[in-house]
Amino acid sequence: MRVCKCKIVAGSRRDWGGALSEAAQPSHRAFAALRQPGYGAYLGGTMLAMMADSVEHVISYWIIYQKFHSPALAGYAVISHWLPFLLFSIWSGALADRYDARRLIQFAMLLFIICSLGWGVLFATDTLEVWHAVVLFTIHGMAGVFWAPASQMLVHDIAGRDNLHSGVRLMAMARTLGLLGGPAVGGAMLLVFGSSLGMLINVLIYLPLTWWLWKAPYGRAFAKETPRAIAGPDGFAGVVTTARAIAGNRIVVSMTLLAAASSFVIGNAYQAQMPEFAAHLGHDHADYHYSMLLAANAAGALAAGLILETYGLLQARPKIAVVLVMLWAICIGGFAVSEHYALSLSLLFAAGFLNLAFSAMAQTLVQLHAPGHMRGRVIGLYNMCFHGMRAFSGVTVGMAGSLIGVHWSLGLSAGVMLLVGFGLLAFEFRPRAPNPV
């Protein structure tokens, strides 16, 4: 009986969702990834780095608004954040395949530090010009591209394959905590220390992760079996090459398409329209009520991480991920047409819960089923779809909202996402080709 049980696990017996069957899955352990040596330190350092990223946005956006009053520059700040993911994610993923992920993350932290130092000096000397802001925003966006694939590959290396879903969920929760804490910490630093000193202090928040990675015993150099990374083209040619390489990998294809559709159609563009939604709900001049709408979404994501990790709910399966996206679209659509503040808060909370659940699940499945020799490229393609495509949600929700109103644009976008979800679900229910003997 013991030998048979080992064969079931090693043979990766699959159920209707393409993941390990219940009989083959190990028993659930709450916060399993935290039981792996080093993962707690990595998680804490990443949360601090994400908070520092958010602090920089809070201080720089405020000073730029005060100095230039330029909607175009504010728009470039958003574009420069997401467009690099669209253009350079495959290239960054290829680097993560070939080189030490720790050093790539450290290089990203160095770029973030340069940005904070640059802002701090320019604020202190009162020499900030528009071109300075454009350059620093661009460097900041590129730092995010270097960070993302390498960071996700290190989750795989530290947490291990068996605890990957737990590791991805906890990492998503840590990033959410960082994003939640960033505005509060950034606002306090701006009030207490001022913009220039606040930015210089912000440099210190990047240091714990940077220092820990220096000798952390993880990554390619410590892998027992390091798959040989394949050489391949970058840019658009790299996208095509990677897409062809995974074309027969049904789970990776469906989860990547799911990430692309959800980001392209809705993404997080509705958050930029939150002041207008607050006004329509009868809270035009109440900053508290506007902030609560934003906080409800983040609180839902935190609740998802805690509840799903504690009770082991929603194991990683493609069909479940698609259903979660469809429920997310329903919540977003409901928020778009809601006329009651309490209902809107509840729907945003549910949307945050579902968003973390499906995004962590999709990323886990992509990492589990990506070929080992090109995992970085596949993660890069996934990031291009999940992060880069968010640049277009500003068109589907934002610009369309200027023509037909944000309620209609968000509601119609949610309806389109629901239809796409039905299509992906039909794709998942198609009979699978028999495995070769």
CB 417 within 8 A of CB 262: yes
Element (H, E) at 120: helix 101-125
- Which residue shows structure tokens 């709408």? 293
Question: 229-240: per-residue pLDDT in tens?
Answer: 555 555 556 667
Query: Which residues neighbour 134 within 8 Å (Cβ) at sequence distance 6 or greater?
Result: 73, 76, 80
Q: Residue 20: what are its φ and ψ, rounded to 5°?
A: -60, 140
Question: 141-181: per-residue pLDDT in tens?
Answer: 999 999 999 998 899 889 888 888 888 888 888 887 887 77
3-state secondary structure of 84: helix
Distinct helix (H) and strand (E) counts, the chain: 18, 0
Q: Give residue 363's pLDDT.
A: 87
3-state secondary structure of 36: coil
> Digits of tens for pLDDT over the chain (437 positions)?
444 444 333 334 343 334 444 334 456 677 888 889 999 999 999 999 999 998 898 888 888 878 887 767 776 877 788 889 988 988 899 898 889 999 999 999 999 999 999 999 999 999 999 999 999 999 999 999 999 999 988 998 898 888 888 888 888 888 878 877 777 788 888 889 999 999 999 999 999 999 999 989 987 767 655 555 555 555 556 667 777 878 888 899 999 999 999 999 998 777 767 767 877 887 555 556 766 887 788 888 888 888 888 887 778 889 999 999 999 999 999 999 998 989 999 999 999 999 989 988 998 899 888 887 788 889 988 888 888 888 788 777 877 777 888 889 899 999 999 999 999 998 888 776 554 43
Domains of the chain: 30-220 (1.20.1250.20), 238-432 (1.20.1250.20)
Give the tokens for residue 124. Answer: 């202190």
Burial pattern 201-214, b for ≥16 Cβ within 10 A else e, equals: bbbebbebbbebbe
Specify the DSSP class assigned to residue 20.
Answer: B
Contacts of range 227-230, beta carbons closer than 8 Å, 24 or more positions apart:
227/371, 227/372, 227/373, 227/375, 228/373, 229/94, 229/97, 229/98, 229/373, 229/374, 229/376, 230/97, 230/373, 230/374
Closest by alpha carbon to 163, among 1, 296, 40, 328?
A: 40
What does the alpha-carbon distance between residue 151 and residue 159 come to, in Å, rounded to a whole number?
Answer: 12
3-state secondary structure of 405: coil
3-state secondary structure of 14: strand
CB 333 within 8 A of CB 207: no
| Helices within 126-249 (DSSP H only) | 130-159, 164-192, 195-212, 235-245
What does the alpha-carbon distance between residue 152 and residue 150 come to, in Å, rounded to a whole number?
Answer: 5
- This prediction's pTM: 0.75
Burial pattern 333-366, b for ≥16 Cβ within 10 A else e, equals: bbbbebeebeebbbbbbbbbbbbbbbbbbbbbbb
